[in-house]
A and B are shown apart, each in its own frame.
Chain A
């Protein structure tokens, strides 16, 4: 909250997704690939099977080019982007788990050195020594996952850490073991779908058997992933589960994501069994792409669900995604955000400029102006108010209400909203009144967000907070003085589309 803000038009969240999504896919491939390649080469040596040997060899080249280059750079990239868009948040994580990351680094060193040696020594050293390197690579890669998963799951379910702030209480949190199982399954899945491309180059007479071999790995990966996912869901606290099982309209997308995740996994299994086990002759580059996309969709959907479920926190019940600590809410409300951050205080003192800096500090970790989660798009506009009031043709008003109003006005039905609004003739006759009404709605929302801070501040900090019970379950509270809330409102009012401007 007291760092300068990077003015990124596309939004920090989207940039993080662009860096993190490819990274997690590649990183899980690196782990699963370690297992599959080591097992495949071991089998090749035992059975004296050149086709399996070539599969392991070709896959190791992909592993080097994709994993040690792109995987390593994008892994650092996640830190780089996190430091740029949520410095306070990543700082809190690092200060809590620096030794966790240090442990992971040791395994990372082993993983990278083993990968480079493994690739470089094909045909140059004995089979036994080469297998040893391959298995050491897998140990390094898998242990990286085992360690880093403790930190990732801690963020969603810190468990007893909230009470004790003890390293291992947070590490071995309620979702740690199920998530480790789930990610193991995902790693096998990712490795399989990548290795199918390498398997396509197998000579015709052995291609079907090699593809079937990968098909059984894929089926195993799906089963482990499904078991891990169900277990993960089963141990989630009710307060978190309510977010994607609840009926709140604003959170419908999370429930939809959950269905998407499970369907994507089912499609992965069906396509995989069909093209790899039952009819391997159907496996072409195009069908392999379909299989990979289905697996990526499952994985991406799960990550979206996990991240979405954690909102509005970075560390659940402790630190919000904009870097605000739950424990700082009352202090900042009393002293003001400009007293907290020199970067907010610095610059023009007029209310709109001041409000803009508050927006950047408190809101821009999630909201852009016009891009991803664009704030301008969620401002009530003249056209939307008119459309709801007119409801012409019948039904159109309710659609606009559901799309544009219901997220914030969950307490009102469409009919109740129409009763509150002036008639279409009155709206057309006095556009200024509607603008004032919209400004009032924005101010009321900010006031509601500020009031929500009191609920967070009063919550038991030793337990996970039930965000589903909050008025805005996916947003951090507004913090600052009433005057600062007013200045934020004045800035946001400049973004409200007026008649003719929408």
Chain B
């Protein structure tokens, strides 16, 4: 009889050293986070703004909602596209934990697909408001979209928590909803949600400031920038509080591991906390961001840097959660360096092609008969 619920390591082994997949997982997760923040935070912020505007597009909040969702029609696609890579790499190094967690929460994990489809098409219905919404502004579709993405975030947090705690699988097998009682569930969820809102708000501010600086719709862009700036400020205030709460409710061995991990763990965590507090100070410095475009760009850059660093800390926290289990398993490594090199070359070539394409598009405006 096997008392161990953790499946065996895949005998096929790793097609490269484990550290390589850890790096790829963190890097691609960070890319995914950028677009995910826009999707989740942007849709939630758009829904709030739309509600406050009473559904009027001539109101600056209605314009902000329309602008955020115009970005999201592309952003959602890119969230999915960039999500594929971390989904691939997590299956390489954490397959036993990831698959087991998804099976224990199978119905709701599968439901993610349906929720995502509904949320995505609802975002398009908001964009094409008209026939489906009879010209009422599409607020219903926006609300549906925001709700779907929020529930998807809940499911992802739940799967992550279950996959990180194999010692709880026995009890979770008898009731998957128990994961909602995990003391870290809600702080963790809101850590993502608040980051998403703050990031999406800052992107909206950055764009509005650029437009206002170029003399386009200065009045409405100024109002949008001020409004979104306040959202970024207050969600960051709550984020800092929530971040400390999350740290406090982490299981003792995980917290201890984080605090005693030396520069490797304390470095990123401390840096992220300092930048987070710095972000607060930058956000509090101005009430009209249009007057200070340099501050806006700096704040957005600092926010992006924080997300990158927190992606590392998040990965380290998972590793600490799983340390008792992973220390028992050893991967066989059968490196395929040639294929990795091919991947890197193609990735560089692919990104260069995308950059060339975007540049060509931006520098080839339509001119009369030559319009595509």
Contacts and interface: CB of A to CB of B under 8 A. Distances in A.
Interface of A: 2-6, 8, 15, 19, 41, 65, 68-70, 72-77, 79-81, 83-84, 87-88, 90-92, 94-96, 98-103, 105-110, 112-114, 116-117, 120-133, 136, 167, 325, 327, 338-346
Contacts of A3: 7, 99-100, 103
B372 A345 contact: no
Given A4-B169, A41-B372, A108-B81, 10 more contacts: A19-B113, A68-B77, A72-B81, A80-B113, A84-B102, A88-B10, A95-B10, A95-B92, A116-B74, A128-B370
Contacts of B353: 110, 136
Interface string B1-40: 1111111101111110000000000000000000000000
Main secondary structure, interface of A, reads helix
A237 B241 CA distance: 64
A72 to B, nearest CB: 5
Nearest to A127: B372
A348 B206 CA distance: 61
A405 B195 CA distance: 62
Nearest to B79: A72
A497 B354 CA distance: 62
Interface stretch (B132-140, B182-190, B227-235, B360-368): B360-368
A105 B84 contact: yes
A72 B80 contact: yes
B347 A106 contact: yes
A133 B361 contact: yes
B83 interface: yes
B350 A123 contact: no
Nearest to A171: B339
Tell me which of A80, A105, A114 has the highest count of chain B C-beta atoms within 10 A of its own C-beta.
A105
A233 B2 CA distance: 45
Given A65-B124, A121-B361, A105 B91 contact: no
B246 interface: no
A114 B103 contact: no
B48 interface: no
B14 A79 contact: no
B231 to A, nearest CB: 26
B131 interface: no
A283 to B, nearest CB: 25
Nearest to B80: A72
Contacts of A19: 113
Interface of B: 1-8, 10-15, 74, 76-78, 80-85, 87-89, 91-92, 95, 98-100, 102-104, 106, 109-110, 112-113, 116-117, 120-121, 124, 169-170, 173, 336, 339-340, 342-343, 346-347, 350-351, 353-354, 357-358, 360-361, 364-367, 370-372
A69 B372 contact: no
Nearest to B362: A125
A94 B89 CA distance: 9
A186 to B, nearest CB: 23
B99 A102 contact: no
B103 A84 contact: yes
Given A80-B109, A91-B99, A339-B1, A73 B88 contact: no
Contacts of A136: 353, 357
Contacts of A106: 343, 346-347, 350
Given A83-B91, A83-B102, A87-B103, A132 B357 contact: yes
Contact of A126 (B5, B10, B343, B372): B372
B104 A4 contact: yes
A327 B11 CA distance: 11
Contact of A120 (B74, B116, B336): B74
Tell me which of A84, A95, A96, A120 has the highest count of chain B C-beta atoms within 10 A of its own C-beta.
A95
9 contacts: A2-B7, A4-B100, A73-B120, A81-B110, A98-B89, A99-B340, A106-B343, A117-B358, A341-B7
Nearest to B6: A342
B357 A113 contact: yes
A70 to B, nearest CB: 7
Given A65-B124, A73-B113, A74-B113, A117 B357 contact: yes
A442 to B, nearest CB: 25
A94 B95 contact: yes
A69 B366 contact: no
A75 B117 CA distance: 12
B300 to A, nearest CB: 21
Contact of A73 (B15, B78, B116, B339): B116
A69 B81 contact: no
A182 to B, nearest CB: 25
B223 to A, nearest CB: 26
B360 A132 contact: yes
The 10 A-B residue pairs whose C-beta atoms are closest, nearest first, are A130-B372, A129-B364, A99-B339, A87-B99, A95-B12, A6-B106, A2-B7, A106-B350, A342-B5, A126-B364
Nearest to B78: A112
A125 B92 contact: no
A102 B88 contact: yes
A343 B5 contact: yes
Contact of B372 (A83, A125, A342): A125
Given A73-B113, A117-B358, A133-B361, A8 B106 contact: yes
Nearest to B1: A345
B372 A121 contact: yes
Contacts of A70: 117
Given A2-B7, A103-B342, A125-B365, A98 B88 contact: yes
A461 B344 CA distance: 34
Contacts of A112: 77-78, 81
Given A4-B104, A98-B15, A117-B357, A126 B365 contact: yes
Given A3-B103, A95-B92, A129 B372 contact: yes
A63 to B, nearest CB: 12
A345 B5 CA distance: 9
Nearest to A86: B99
Contacts of A100: 339
Contacts of B95: 87, 91, 94-95
Given A80-B110, A83-B91, A132-B360, A69 B84 contact: no
Contacts of B82: 109
A351 to B, nearest CB: 15
Nearest to A338: B1
A345 B353 CA distance: 53
A324 B76 CA distance: 37
B339 A72 contact: no
Contacts of A126: 364-367, 370-372
A83 B351 CA distance: 29
A95 B84 contact: no
